[in-house]
Amino acid sequence: MSQAIAIVTGASSGIGHEIVRELASTHRIVALGRDAARLAATGAEITVTADLRDAGEFAAGGKVTALIDSLDRVDVLVHSAAVGTPGSFAETDAAEWHRQLTTNVVAPALLTRLALPKLRDAAGTVVFLGSGVSVRPAHQMAAYVASKHALKGLADSLRLEEAEHGVRVTTLMPGQVDTPMQVELQEGLGNTYRPERYLRPETVARAVRYVVDAPADAHLTDLSIRPRVAG
C-alpha cells in the first residue's frame, strides 16, 4: 500500500508551515501556497505554487486540478490558507469582501470538491482551520468573521453529506495565534503586539495531528483551542 498523502494549503508560513512539519513523519506532504521559496523550505515532497483565489486553478487545465489528478490517493486535506484584515463594516469595500470570502470559503470548497473522490476512497479526513470567530464576533472584523462562520457552515454541511462515504470533517477553531497575519491584525487595530499572549503555530499543528490520528471509530467534529494566559 502506498504511503498516506496529506495536502496542506497555506503552507508557506505560519500555521500551515508547522502543519507540514508535524505531518511529514507519517504522510507524503503536498504543500500549496503562493511563495515558491517558502514552500521549498517546508521540505514537502510536492509543492505547488498557486493563487487559490483564481477560479481557473480549479478548472480543467488548472494547476490544482492537475495536481489532484496526479495523486494516487488523498488521505488528509488541511485548509490552512486564510486572509484577514481589520476594518469597520462601513469601510469594507466590495474588493475586500471578495478577497476574504474567496480565500477563506470558496477556495476550500472548490479544492475539497476536486479531492472528494479520492478522500472517499481513502475514508479520509478534511480539516478546516476556522477560528474562535467561527462562533462569535470580533470588533472591526466583519468580513473575516463572516467568512469563518461560512466556513464552519460549509464543514457542517459537508459532514452530513459525506458521513455515508466515511469521510471525516473537522473544524478546528484556534484562538489568536502568533503568526504574521496576527501581527498585521493587531497593528491594524492599533494594539501592542504581545506574542506571549497567543498560541504558538506548532501547538495548532499538534491539534491537527490529534484530529488526523483519531481512532477509526471517532469523528471529531468541532475542536476549540484557546491561549492559556496566566494573570
Task: Using pLDDT thresholds of 50, 70 and 90, give the confidence band for residue 231.
Answer: very low
Q: What is the mean pLDDT of the chain?
A: 92
What are the tens digits of pLDDT across the range 38-72? 999 999 999 999 999 999 999 999 999 999 999 99
> What pLDDT is stored for residue 229 in this prediction?
73
> What pLDDT is stored for residue 202 in this prediction?
94
The mean pLDDT of 127-154, rounded to a whole number, is 91
Helices (H), the chain: 14-23, 36-41, 63-70, 94-101, 107-122, 142-162, 180-188, 201-212
22 secondary structure, DSSP code: H
Task: Indicate the SS3 state at residue 55.
Answer: helix
List the one residue out of 100, 90, 95 whose CA is nearest residue 146. Answer: 100
Clarify whether 193 is annotated catalytic. Answer: no
Is the predicted pLDDT of residue 230 greater than 60, yes or no? no
Given the residues 144, 193, 198, 210, select the one marked as catalytic. 144
Give the pTM: 0.93
The mean pLDDT of 76-104, rounded to a whole number, is 95
d(CA 210, CA 73): 21
Q: Which domains does the chain have, with CATH numbers?
A: 5-225 (3.40.50.720)
Is the predicted pLDDT of residue 25 greater than 60, yes or no? yes
What are the tens digits of pLDDT across the range 172-219? 999 887 766 676 666 666 767 676 778 999 999 999 999 999 999 999
Query: What residues does 170 pair with on adjacent strands?
Result: 127
Task: Indicate the SS3 state at residue 203.
Answer: helix
- Residue 185 or 75, more confident: 75
> What pLDDT is stored for residue 189 in this prediction?
66
What are the tens digits of pLDDT across the range 98-120? 999 999 999 999 999 999 999 99
> What pLDDT is stored for residue 1 in this prediction?
65
User: What percent of the chain stands above pLDDT 90?
Assistant: 77
